[in-house]
Amino acid sequence: MERNTGLIIAMDVTRMDRAVKIASEVAECVDAIKVGYPLVLSEGLSVISRLADYAPVIADFKVADIPYTDELICEQVFKAGASGLIVHGFTGEDSLKACIGVARLYDGDIYVVSEMSHPGGAKYFQPIADEIASMAYEFGATGIVAPATRPERVKHLRSIIGDSLSIISPGVGAQGGKASDVIASGANWIIVGRSIYNSENPKETAMELVTGIGI
């Protein structure tokens, strides 16, 4: 993914027409559109190719299965037009390798969730986050997902993966994180949903966030 603005919008709306309207408004402010279960379950997998007209799409399916099933999922997602896919790492090395293998066939990106941003994410995820981040590095993932709500953790996870992997970071705005803090801690992109799509003027809000990122 090309880093022009440092902003990824989380398009967690449930109607295609609303998603397309917001995407057309914010297209020039974002480097990617993250699409997940809310929109795909509501409108179907075709939302991926539809939104890819505006910006590269990262499919957020937090894939977490046995390697064989992971491969089938990854193939469907990349065939549908996604540029990137978010997967879990706790399923183990073989599952992650399977996802990365399919992504390479499509020249796609794999981002591995290392630690989640919500309060509950600290309990089970944080103790294994370092190992997940190391595994993402070892097997050549594109990057990891790390919490903007805990910039100190982003800094720590950055020290584990070095500079070759990207960090995409959700939790800015509605969850309390601040763009400038998490970028200063080593994130390459922030992922922002509600603060943008629920605002009166999504484009203006996105532009303010981009200014805060300060690329």
Residues of the binding site for substrate:
12, 34, 60-69, 117, 170-180, 193-194
Q: How far apart are CA 95 and CA 83, in angstroms?
A: 19
End-to-end distance of the chain based on CA atoms, in angstroms?
15
Q: Single out the residue of 104, 167, 114 nearest to residue 140, CA to CA.
A: 104
Q: What count of residues does the chain have?
A: 215
Measured in whole angstroms, the distance separating CA 95 from the mean position of its chain's CA atoms is 19
Q: Which of 26, 192, 209, 213 binds ligand O7E (CB under 6 A)?
A: 192
Residues 46-85 that bind ligand O7E (CB under 6 A): 60
Residue 191 lies near ligand O7E (rule: CB under 6 A): yes
Residue 173 lies near ligand O7E (rule: CB under 6 A): yes
Q: Single out the residue of 95, 187, 186, 179 nearest to residue 141, CA to CA.
A: 95
C-beta neighbour count of 164 within 10 angstroms: 9
Q: For residues 81 and 193, which CB has a smaller minimum distance to ligand O7E in the complex?
A: 193
Residue 194 lies near ligand O7E (rule: CB under 6 A): yes
Q: Which of 39, 145, 182, 210 binds ligand O7E (CB under 6 A)?
A: 145
Residues engaged in binding ligand O7E (CB under 6 A): 10, 12, 36, 60, 86, 113, 116-117, 121, 145, 147, 168, 170-171, 173-175, 191-195
